[in-house]
A and B are shown apart, each in its own frame.
Chain A
Amino acid sequence: MFELKNKKLFIFFLFICLIQLFYIFNFRSGFKYDVFKDPFSINSGVMYALPIEVIELKKIINDKNISKFNLSKKLQTDNLIYQRIIEYNYPNRFENSSKYFISYKNEEVDNNCKLDEIFIYLKLSKC
């Protein structure tokens, strides 16, 4: 009798755990099948986690082989964009004295800087 009661309780709580796990997976996890298909690739999950400007900035930095870069005021004052740029681009670092100046495409740039290239969202200047 006692064994049977234990078994029933065991099955009941097993069922509760499964429901909870399903709830976490389905409603709380932010699970993406695209990410799951290839979790070990270098850029896995990036498209879901980062603003498009940040991804473009990384591409610029990699293509141009830049190790230290400077950012416009607008990019620096937007906390979300700024912090994501810093994290995502590490070990390439933000440095105020760098000659590579990155700004939004439509932003005014100092006269001492020479435009290098315009991209979809950003532009690169040398100062």
Chain B
Amino acid sequence: MIYNNFCEKITFFLSLLILNNYFLISLEFPILFLKTNLIFIFSIILIFYFKHFLKNIPFKIFFIIILLISLGTPTLEWDPRSIWLFHAKRIFIENSIFSVKDNYAAFSHNDYPSLVPSLAASVAHLAGHWNEVFPKLAFSLMFLPPIIFINIYIKNYNYLIFLSLIFFFIGKYLFNGWADGLLAVYFTLSVFLMHKLISNNFNLEKKNLFLNLIAILFFVTLTLIKNEGLVLLVIIFLITFVLEFSNKSLKKNFKKIILLSISFIPIILWKYFCYTNSLGNDYINNSFLFNLELRANVLENYKLIFYFLFLNEKFLIALFIFLTSFFILKNNNLFKFVFLIALTYSLILFIVYLSTPYDFYFQLNSSATRTIKSISFLFGFFAIYNLSLKKNNLI
């Protein structure tokens, strides 16, 4: 219990400080504040490591190994270079997330939210200069809050299975400067927290202030990682709303849902900034409907999307363990909640791919395995979580 509270507090303060870094840069605070904030982040990580030194040793060692691998990995691929680290470099040099309003280098998707780049920029500030390797540490650091948090609910060898899922589904995305791994983990944990706070039957958890605050912090983080994060959070809220309505418990939870929806405020402000500065999105433009109409009538296109998204070994393994877990240990509410979220996101992915302004095949080939990662990890995680519930006799 003591260690649970400890993990809860560490998660809360780490998430808060990561978001605080973003808000400090947004409000153009002097660099001294950013450095101080980052020193607080490192202090909390040290507290996590040394306060309960013998707890969670495997993860503590794995995480150090991941940081060391990150420090030996050049930034090779397009997304990390052209989007995330380039934005981080701009933030580092201009000390503002709003420098993108000139839309310089439009290929770098200036409309993408800057939470991770702003943390990478602060890491560079702490070192005193920019390079292409160590700011990537920010990506790994951002995995800490959700991975520490889940240790409250999943313990012993089940926690090792959870880490094994992280290595299997997220893999090199833990350190190579891509945001898709972060998106998958924060999305899954957001679904988990929404389940805990709304559809769960344990009132004690629902009323836990830290849990509610952590949920808001994770939701905000999810929306500020990538544009997809906003879509994913909307889906989570939508499915929650629909299920609560169908279970006739919407009235009971309505206030809570409204309260949690304040998490949308930072991304709405960012999108407003993008809109007022004409920072567009490649996907939502005049050709959206045209491309959709053109491709939607061809059956082959659906087959191709299906092939790239779902005939992927990691997705199939995740689906298999998810179905097996819920077949062995029935938990209809949780199954329905997770499955509907995954289904809705899959439908949206179909629409996105059908309407892409880029070459259809190229788009699928270059991004499908990344976009389906969120669903694969979601299935994998809830399969393990469901089994651990039974083990603790909580079903």
How would residues 46 to 82 of chain A score, 1 for a CB under 8 Å from any chain B CB and 0 otherwise?
1011000000000000000000000000000001000
User: A41 to chain B: which residues have CB within 8 Å?
Assistant: 131
Instruction: Check: A113 CB closer than 8 A to any chain B CB.
Output: no
With A20-B167, A28-B172, A39-B71 known to touch, is A10 a contact of B90 (CB < 8 Å)? Answer: no
User: A31 to chain B: which residues have CB within 8 Å?
Assistant: 69, 72-73
Interface residues of chain A: helix, strand, loop or mixed (majority): helix
Within the complex, the shortest CB–CB distance from A127 to chain B, in Å, comes to 21
For chain B, which range describes its interface: under 10, 10 to 19, 20 to 34, or 35 or more residues? 35 or more
Interface residues of chain B: helix, strand, loop or mixed (majority): helix
Within the complex, the shortest CB–CB distance from A80 to chain B, in Å, comes to 9
CA distance A5 to B250 in the complex (A): 43
CA distance A21 to B62 in the complex (A): 8
**Chain A: which residue is nearest B102 at the CB level?**
A93
**Chain A: which residue is nearest B75 at the CB level?**
A49
Q: Do A40 and B167 touch (CB < 8 A)?
A: no
Q: Do A14 and B58 touch (CB < 8 A)?
A: yes
User: A39 to chain B: which residues have CB within 8 Å?
Assistant: 71-72, 131, 133-134
Q: Do A36 and B72 touch (CB < 8 A)?
A: yes
Count A-B contacts at CB 8 Å: 124
Q: Which of B3-11, B158-166, B194-202, B216-224 contacts A (4 or more CB under 8 A)?
A: B158-166
Taking a contact as CB atoms closer than 8 A, the residue among B74, B93, B104, B176 that contacts A48 in the complex is B74
**Chain B: which residue is nearest A79 at the CB level?**
B107
CA distance A14 to B167 in the complex (A): 12
Residue among A36, A83, A87 with most chain B CB within 10 A? A87
Taking a contact as CB atoms closer than 8 A, the residue among A17, A24, A48 that contacts B160 in the complex is A17
Instruction: Check: B156 CB closer than 8 A to any chain A CB.
Output: yes
How would residues 103 to 133 of chain B score, 1 for a CB under 8 Å from any chain A CB and 0 otherwise?
0110110000000000000000001011111
CA distance A33 to B85 in the complex (A): 21
User: B93 to chain A: which residues have CB within 8 Å?
Assistant: 90-91
Instruction: Check: B370 CB closer than 8 A to any chain A CB.
Output: no
With A42-B131, A87-B105 known to touch, is A24 a contact of B167 (CB < 8 Å)? Answer: yes
Q: Do A87 and B86 touch (CB < 8 A)?
A: yes
User: A79 to chain B: which residues have CB within 8 Å?
Assistant: 107
Instruction: Check: A43 CB closer than 8 A to any chain B CB.
Output: yes
How would residues 89 to 100 of chain B score, 1 for a CB under 8 Å from any chain A CB and 0 otherwise?
110011000000
Instruction: Check: A119 CB closer than 8 A to any chain B CB.
Output: no
Q: Do A49 and B172 touch (CB < 8 A)?
A: no
Within the complex, the shortest CB–CB distance from B7 to chain A, in Å, comes to 19
Q: Do B74 and A35 touch (CB < 8 A)?
A: yes
> What residues make up the interface of B, taking CB atoms closer than 8 Å to A?
58, 62, 65-66, 68-69, 71-76, 78, 81-82, 85-86, 89-90, 93-94, 104-105, 107-108, 127, 129-134, 156-157, 160-161, 163-164, 167-168, 171-172, 174-176
Identify 21 residue pairs between A and B in the complex whose beta-carbon atoms are under 8 Å apart, listed by A's number.
A6-B157, A10-B160, A16-B160, A20-B167, A20-B168, A21-B62, A24-B167, A24-B171, A24-B172, A25-B65, A35-B73, A36-B68, A39-B134, A40-B127, A48-B74, A49-B81, A49-B132, A83-B108, A87-B85, A90-B86, A90-B105
Q: 4 nearest interchain CB pairs?
A: A36-B72, A45-B74, A13-B160, A20-B167
